[in-house]
């Protein structure tokens, strides 16, 4: 007990009898002042000149910083094959080419059809009075067409059999391009089907296509079974899955891009061999939906508009788009199509413009209604 008491007293004595300590005068070494000044200057500099590096960004900025991965140097791309090097050299040089201005620039209207064109009379009215600004080419794959318009007579090319869903569709497109490229005045090339109709008058279409320096090629990424699910690893190394794209076949392209399509054999052969119906495990791949979108995404993504100027309605979610019968064709329908916009606005030379110049699929029975309405719905 005494020891315990003595201990408590000792502790108490220490607490009570603590000797007061005197602090020496505060000294302000020069190095502290210099350090504070440097830090202040760095903070002011970071505010005036926003940080450009990863470390500086996270030191001086609480938002707007890029992720760490974005600051890393780009990873080395794979080594190209000999065929790829040769192909890309040719493509690069064509893209850099400057073509002499032609005094009579024309649009090549290329019709891909099984036989006669049910809307020739409508196209005849569309073309009338503009004979020096267009050419017509017809690829009839089943039977020789019977023409009713002077603009289509003797405009057929050597055609071959076309089977839906096969690479023969792409072959027909290339055949049309090859024939149209023989005319040096053809500066823009439009692929149309037998069920297509114009939505605007000729002057509007001509100015729309000739006054822009891009091609209208539908191109988007579809991660589902009907998009990337059609990809085959046999396309490696030239075509990687991350570059595989999809789009409608109905394109409109400038002369440089038409030349590139004709010059390509490497990427075309990949789709010819490894994109076809029933290719692997029952999967179907359709070259006309994938070849051009993938090709241009890889070689000139900034040179295409990523949409087609030909309207088609897939709202019914069926294997084929909506078709318009005679009873469906009204002034309101046609004007609504011309005003329809996509998920993103269609920008033409930096300005928002109508997305569509043509539309499909119309039944032949709709011709009379279209003829009656043509002058009204194509005023612009």
Distance from C-alpha of 228 to C-alpha of 198, rounded to nearest angstrom: 32
| pLDDT at residue 202 greater than cutoff 50 | yes
Distance from C-alpha of 270 to C-alpha of 170, rounded to nearest angstrom: 13
Domain assignment present for residue 21? The answer is no
Domain assignment present for residue 308? The answer is yes
For position 61, what pLDDT does the model report? 37
Phi and psi (nearest 5°) for 114? -75, -25
Residue 258 pLDDT class (50, 70, 90 cuts): very high
Domain assignment present for residue 268? The answer is yes
Which residues sit opposite 246 in a β-bridge?
220
Helix (H) and strand (E) counts in the chain: 13, 11
Whole-number average pLDDT of the chain: 83
Domain assignment present for residue 110? The answer is yes
3-class SS of residue 108: strand
| pLDDT at residue 86 greater than cutoff 80 | yes
For position 44, what pLDDT does the model report? 57
Once rounded to an integer, what is the mean pLDDT over residues 215-221?
A: 95
- Judge contact between 287 and 272, C-beta under 8 A: yes
3-class SS of residue 313: coil
For position 170, what pLDDT does the model report? 97
For position 179, what pLDDT does the model report? 98
Domain assignment present for residue 46? The answer is no
For position 181, what pLDDT does the model report? 98
Domain assignment present for residue 352? The answer is yes
Distance from C-alpha of 253 to C-alpha of 190, rounded to nearest angstrom: 7
Percentage of residues in the chain having pLDDT higher than 90: 62
What's the number of domains the chain is made of?
1
- Considering only residues 13 and 203, tell me which one the structure prediction assigns the higher pLDDT: 203
Distance from C-alpha of 134 to C-alpha of 131, rounded to nearest angstrom: 6
Once rounded to an integer, what is the mean pLDDT over residues 162-176?
A: 95
User: What are the tens digits of pLDDT across the range 3-57?
Assistant: 444 333 333 343 433 444 344 444 556 666 666 666 666 655 554 444 444 333 3
- Judge contact between 133 and 102, C-beta under 8 A: no
| pLDDT at residue 123 greater than cutoff 90 | yes
> What is the pairing mode between strands 358-359 and 310-311?
parallel
| pLDDT at residue 73 greater than cutoff 70 | no
Task: Pull the structure tokens for residue 46.
Answer: 């970071």
Percentage of residues in the chain having pLDDT higher than 70: 77
74-106 as b/e: b if 16+ CB within 10 A: eeeeeeeeeeeeebeebbeebeeeeeeeeeeeb
Domain assignment present for residue 64? The answer is no
Residue with tokens 């502790």, as numbered in its chain: 11
- Domain interval for residue 333: 82-96+103-378
Residue with tokens 């094959």, as numbered in its chain: 81
For position 205, what pLDDT does the model report? 96
For position 197, what pLDDT does the model report? 97
Which residues sit opposite 135 in a β-bridge?
108
Please name the residues in contact with 79: beta carbons below 8 A apart, sequence gap of 6 or more. Answer: none
Q: What pTM, to 2 d.p., does this model score? A: 0.78
User: What are the tens digits of pLDDT across the range 323-376?
Assistant: 999 999 999 999 889 887 666 678 766 777 888 999 999 999 999 999 999 988
For position 359, what pLDDT does the model report? 96
Once rounded to an integer, what is the mean pLDDT over residues 113-124?
A: 96
- Considering only residues 252 and 29, tell me which one the structure prediction assigns the higher pLDDT: 252
Domain assignment present for residue 58? The answer is no
Residue 98 pLDDT class (50, 70, 90 cuts): confident
Closest of 204, 203, 187, 191 to residue 137, by C-alpha: 191
Element (H, E) at 86: helix 82-96
Poorest-pLDDT segment among 137-146, 252-261, 274-283: 274-283
Closest of 139, 133, 140, 135 to residue 151, by C-alpha: 135
- Considering only residues 96 and 101, tell me which one the structure prediction assigns the higher pLDDT: 96
Residue with tokens 């729309």, as numbered in its chain: 208
Phi and psi (nearest 5°) for 246? -135, 155
DSSP classification of residue 144: P
For position 42, what pLDDT does the model report? 61
- Judge contact between 292 and 217, C-beta under 8 A: yes
Max avg pLDDT among 30-44, 58-72, 123-137, 316-330: 123-137
3-class SS of residue 199: coil
């Amino acid at each position: 007990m005494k020891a315990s008491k003595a201990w408590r007293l000792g502790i108490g004595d220490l607490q009570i009898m603590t000797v007061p300590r005197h602090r020496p005068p505060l000294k302000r070494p020069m190095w502290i002042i210099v350090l504070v000044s440097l830090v202040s200057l760095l903070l002011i500099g970071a505010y005036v000149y926003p940080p450009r590096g990863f470390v500086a960004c996270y030191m001086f900025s609480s938002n707007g910083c890029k992720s760490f991965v974005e600051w890393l140097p780009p990873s080395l791309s794979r080594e190209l094959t000999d065929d790829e090097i040769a192909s890309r050299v040719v493509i690069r040089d064509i893209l850099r080419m400057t073509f002499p201005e032609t005094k009579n620039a024309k649009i090549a209207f290329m019709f891909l059809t099984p036989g006669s064109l049910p809307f020739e009379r409508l196209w005849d009215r569309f073309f009338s009075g503009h004979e020096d600004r267009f050419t017509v080419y017809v690829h009839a794959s089943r039977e020789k067409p019977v023409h009713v318009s002077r603009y289509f007579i003797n405009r057929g090319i050597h055609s071959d059999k076309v089977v839906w869903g096969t690479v023969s569709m792409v072959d027909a497109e290339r055949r049309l391009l090859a024939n149209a490229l023989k005319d040096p005045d053809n500066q823009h090339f439009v692929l149309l089907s037998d069920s297509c109709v114009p939505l605007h008058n000729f002057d509007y279409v001509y100015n729309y296509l000739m006054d822009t320096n891009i091609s209208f090629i539908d191109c988007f990424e579809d991660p589902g079974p009907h998009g990337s699910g059609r990809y085959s690893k046999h396309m490696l190394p030239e075509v990687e899955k991350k570059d595989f794209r999809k789009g409608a076949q109905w394109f409109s392209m400038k002369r440089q891009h038409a030349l590139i399509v004709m010059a390509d054999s490497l990427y075309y052969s990949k789709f010819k061999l490894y994109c076809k119906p029933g290719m692997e495990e029952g999967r179907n791949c359709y070259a006309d939906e994938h070849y051009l979108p993938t090709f241009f995404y890889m070689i000139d993504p900034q040179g295409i508009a990523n949409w087609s100027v030909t309207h088609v309605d897939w709202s019914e979610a069926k294997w084929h788009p909506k078709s318009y019968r005679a009873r469906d064709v009204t002034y309101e329908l046609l004007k609504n199509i011309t005003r329809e916009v996509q998920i993103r606005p269609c920008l033409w030379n930096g300005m928002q413009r109508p997305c569509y110049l043509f539309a499909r699929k119309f039944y032949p029975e709709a011709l009379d209604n279209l003829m009656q309405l043509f002058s009204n719905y194509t005023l612009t």
